[in-house]
Each structure stands twice: as C-alpha cells, then as structure tokens.
C-alpha cells in the first residue's frame, strides 16, 4: 500500500509524532486536570468511544461526575456489537447513558436502561447515506429530521457545504438505521463541527443532573468546542483548493470529515465496514479509477483493508489514512478527539496544498 508519509507523519500513533512539548502544552491549556482518578457521584456511561472521549474531557474538572465507556475502545463502529454481561452490569449501575443517537447504538436495548438516556447528537442533522453522495455532489442538502421542528443555532448540521435547499424528510425514524447504511449516514461523530455541538449538549445535560458542576462543564465544553470549530473552519478553508477533485473512501465513516473540505466523494469501497467488498464491486472501482483516477483513496487509519491496498497498488493512487475516531486506545490521553481531528485536518491541508 502506498501511503503519504509526509502527511501521515503527524498522525497520532504514527511513526513520527508532533513535538512532545507542544502536545503537552496544548493539553494543559485545555485539559488541566483530566485523568485524575476520583470517586464519582453521578455515574455516566458513554456507549461508544467518540462520545466517551468527548464526555470525559467535558467532565474532567468535575469531581462529582464519573464517565465510563461501554463498548471497548478498540471496537470501532458498534453496528454488530453484542453487549456482554459485564456491559449490562455497568449499565445497571449508571445514572446517565450517553448515546450519539441516530441509530449508531441500535445494538442497545435502551428501554431496559433505568436511568436517563441522552442522545448527544439530537440537535444535528445527518448527511444522506453514501448512495446519495457517490455522485460527488457536495452541495446537496440533508436527510430530513424525523423529529419535529427544533431550534437550530447554526451548529446544528453535522455536515456542511449544502445549499439552502433540503431533501424532503425521510419517512424513517431516527432509530431504524442500525447499520449505518440506510437513508442517512450515522457517523456524525466523525465531524469536528458536530462534535463541537455534542460537547455543549453533554455539558448542559450533565449539568442538569449535577448542578454544582454546570458552570465548570460549560467552561470546559466551550474550550473544546472552540478548538473543534477552529478545525472545522480550517477544513472549510480548503474548498477553493479542491478544484473539482475527488477521493475514494474506504468506508463512509470518513464522509463527514471529507464533506467539510468540498472534495467530491467518488465512491465508498466498503459498503459494509464489517465485510470486504464483493469482487464485482472491486472490479467496478478498478474501472472507474482507470477512467478517472481520484486524488487519493482515504482509508480508516484504525481499520486496515486489503481491498484498499489492492486497489491502490493496481491503480497507483496513493492511500491517505485518516482517523474517524470511531475507535482508539483504551488509555487515550485527554484531548484525544481534538488532537486526532487536528491531525486529520493537517493531513488534508498538506494534501490540498501540494
Ligand atoms: Zn460505522
């Protein structure tokens, strides 16, 4: 597999790392007390890794709030996850269950949970599924919300670059799309702009149940959201450099990130992230790449794919690995989400400034 060594060199977990002091300084600015063990009064369980690392960082200064992760950190998208007896015991002890929502956690029987369920992406709108973005049109609207009218504050769209129009609302409910490949794309967590909105929702919801912490939660959420919005602005600033070029994605978990840049998405190699693409599908990609080579194949840095390696070798289209933050290390340091998105952004900046 050919990879962009220059643009991957800043990737967390890559062979080369950012200067350690700069990382430490950045973490201390935003996360002064994270990681200190404490006994919590409000027990919070986040179902998935991305929501967990965001919630943990929002609550890191609040001694009365304890945040745990349910699905193991390295699992990735939980589309096929089956809760273990230990998971169920952890849920039984929790006061609050944080979900992204929009069907990402459809493996959970949420009605069995006795505490409060919060969908942290409830104020966001998902993008259509990859079937609707494969034409490379990055100026489309969004899947309609299945819920009633809500106020939006400008941060409500998980994906951007759309025109003023919207698709007619889908008839489906938000919880019928457990596999991420229905009418809309469930990987909202992979958008820094969406994550900015999520941390603010997390602060408000945890603050309701731990009022003494509310101001601390809000302050920390504002810091994190500010950094995420800066990253989103940098991604959008790349749009004039795209000049009609497109990329192929390993999987549609990268759609939200790529969408911000305006790069056209020419196709998604793995329809199902838990299974390799069919021979017929690979053949079709081979053909389309020969006719019109994409700028890069964008791969999931945490989920190596033989199909991606093969297509890259055959087509001589390099691979650029990005991290949608679906998974990560169990001991991910404070600031993980922001740092990974910053590295993704720098990789895309390097690519488009070439
Ligand atoms: Zn997924």
Residue 4's pLDDT is: 43
pTM, full prediction = 0.79
Neighbour order of strands in the sheet with 42-46 = 65-69, 42-46, 96-99, 116-119
Give 60 Cα–ligand 1 centroid separation in angstroms.
27
Burial of 173 (0-12, 13-18, 19+ CB in 10 A): exposed
- For residue 226, pLDDT beyond 50: yes
Q: Which has the closest alpha carbon to 250: 273, 278, 280? A: 273
Helix/strand/coil (H/E/C) assignment for every residue in 21-44: HHHHHHHHHHCCCCCCCCCCCEEE
Assess contact for 7 and 353: CB atoms under 8 A: no
- The tens digit of pLDDT for each residue in 164-189 reads 333 323 323 333 333 445 689 999 99
> Does residue 231 have a pLDDT over 90?
yes
* The pLDDT of residue 182: 61
CA 217, CA 189: separation in Å to the nearest integer?
20
Residue spans of alpha helices (H) in the chain: 5-8, 20-30, 49-58, 85-93, 130-133, 192-209, 214-236, 239-242, 255-261, 279-291, 306-315, 336-352
Quote the ligand 1 centre to 79 CA distance (angstroms). 6
What percentage of the chain exceeds 70 in pLDDT?
74
- Alpha carbon of 110 to ligand 1 centroid (Å): 19
Q: What is the pLDDT of residues 31-42, one digit of tens each?
A: 544 433 344 599
β-pair partners for 299: 321
Q: Which residues surround ligand 1, an ion (CB under 5 A)?
A: 77, 180, 253
CA of 140 to the centre of ligand 1 (A): 22
pLDDT for res 273 = 79
Residue 213 — φ and ψ, nearest 5°?
A: -95, -5
Closest CA to 229 of 157, 300, 136, 151: 157
Mean pLDDT check: name the lowest of 9-13, 118-122, 300-304, 320-324: 9-13
**C-alpha of residue 15 to centroid of ligand 1, in Å:** 26
Least confident of 25-29, 160-164, 219-223, 272-276: 160-164
Rounded to the nearest whole angstrom, what is the distance from the C-alpha of residue 179 to the centroid of ligand 1? 7
Q: Which residue has the tokens 């200067």?
A: 19
What spacing in Å lies between the alpha carbon of 77 and ligand 1's midpoint? 4
Percent of the chain with pLDDT over 90: 68
Q: 64: closest CA among 93, 90, 38, 91? A: 38
First-to-last alpha carbon distance for the chain, in angstroms, is: 20
> Taking residues 281-300, what's their average pLDDT?
95
User: What's the gap in Å between 273 CA and the centre of ligand 1?
Assistant: 6
Residue 44 pLDDT > 50: yes
**Distance from the CA of 253 to the center of ligand 1, in angstroms?**
6
**pLDDT in the model for residue 129:** 84
pLDDT in tens, 95-140: 999 999 999 999 998 888 999 999 999 999 999 886 544 444 333 3
* 297 CA → ligand 1 middle, Å: 18
Is the CB of residue 321 less than 8 Å from the CB of residue 279? no
What's the CA-to-centroid distance between 51 and ligand 1, angstroms?
Answer: 14
Residue 14 confidence class, pLDDT cut points 50, 70, 90: very low
> Could you give the 3-state DSSP secondary structure of residue 153?
coil
Report how far ligand 1's centroid is from the alpha carbon of 189 (Å): 10
Task: Look at 234 and 271; give whichever has higher pLDDT.
Answer: 234
With bands split at pLDDT 50, 70 and 90, how would you rate the model's confidence at 158? low
Which domains, from first to last, does the chain contain?
5-18+239-352 (3.40.50.1980), 31-124+141-233 (3.40.50.1980)
C-alpha dihedral (58, 61, 67, 71), degrees to nearest 10: 50
CA distance 77 to 325: 9
Q: Residue 84 contacts by C-beta under 8 Å, 6 or more apart in sequence?
A: none
């Amino acid at each position: 597999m050919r990879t962009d060594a220059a643009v991957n060199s800043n990737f967390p977990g890559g062979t080369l790392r950012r200067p350690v002091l700069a990382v430490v300084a950045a973490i201390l600015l935003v996360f002064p007390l994270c990681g200190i063990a404490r006994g919590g009064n409000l027990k919070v369980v986040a179902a998935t890794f991305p929501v967990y690392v965001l919630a943990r960082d929002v609550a890191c200064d609040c001694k009365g709030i304890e945040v745990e992760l349910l699905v193991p950190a390295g699992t990735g998208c939980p589309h096929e996850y089956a809760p273990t007896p230990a998971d169920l015991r952890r849920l039984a002890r929790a006061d609050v269950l944080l979900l992204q929502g929009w069907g990402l956690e459809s493996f959970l029987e949420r009605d069995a949970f006795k505490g409060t369920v919060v969908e942290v992406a409830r104020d966001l709108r998902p993008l259509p599924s990859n079937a609707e973005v494969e034409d490379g049109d990055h100026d489309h609207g969004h899947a309609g919300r299945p819920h009633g009218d809500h106020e939006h504050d400008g941060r409500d769209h998980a994906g951007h670059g759309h025109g003023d129009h919207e698709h007619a609302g889908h008839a489906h409910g938000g919880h019928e799309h457990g596999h991420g490949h229905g009418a809309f794309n469930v990987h909202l967590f992979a958008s820094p702009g969406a994550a900015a909105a999520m941390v603010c929702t997390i602060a408000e919801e945890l603050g309701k149940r731990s009022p003494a912490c509310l101001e601390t939660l809000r302050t920390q959420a504002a810091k994190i959201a500010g950094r995420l919005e800066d990253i989103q602005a940098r991604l959008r600033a790349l749009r004039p450099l795209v000049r009609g070029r497109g990329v192929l994605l390993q999987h549609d978990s990268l759609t939200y990130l790529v969408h911000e840049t305006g790069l056209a998405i020419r196709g998604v190699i793995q329809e199902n992230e838990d299974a390799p693409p069919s021979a017929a599908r690979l053949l079709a990609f081979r053909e389309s790449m020969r006719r019109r080579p994409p700028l890069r194949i964008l791969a999931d840095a945490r989920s190596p794919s033989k199909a991606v390696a093969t297509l890259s070798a055959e087509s001589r289209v390099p691979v650029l690995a990005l991290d949608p933050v679906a998974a990560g290390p169990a001991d991910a340091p404070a600031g993980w989400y922001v740092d990974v998105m910053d590295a993704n952004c720098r990789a895309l900046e390097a690519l488009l400034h070439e």
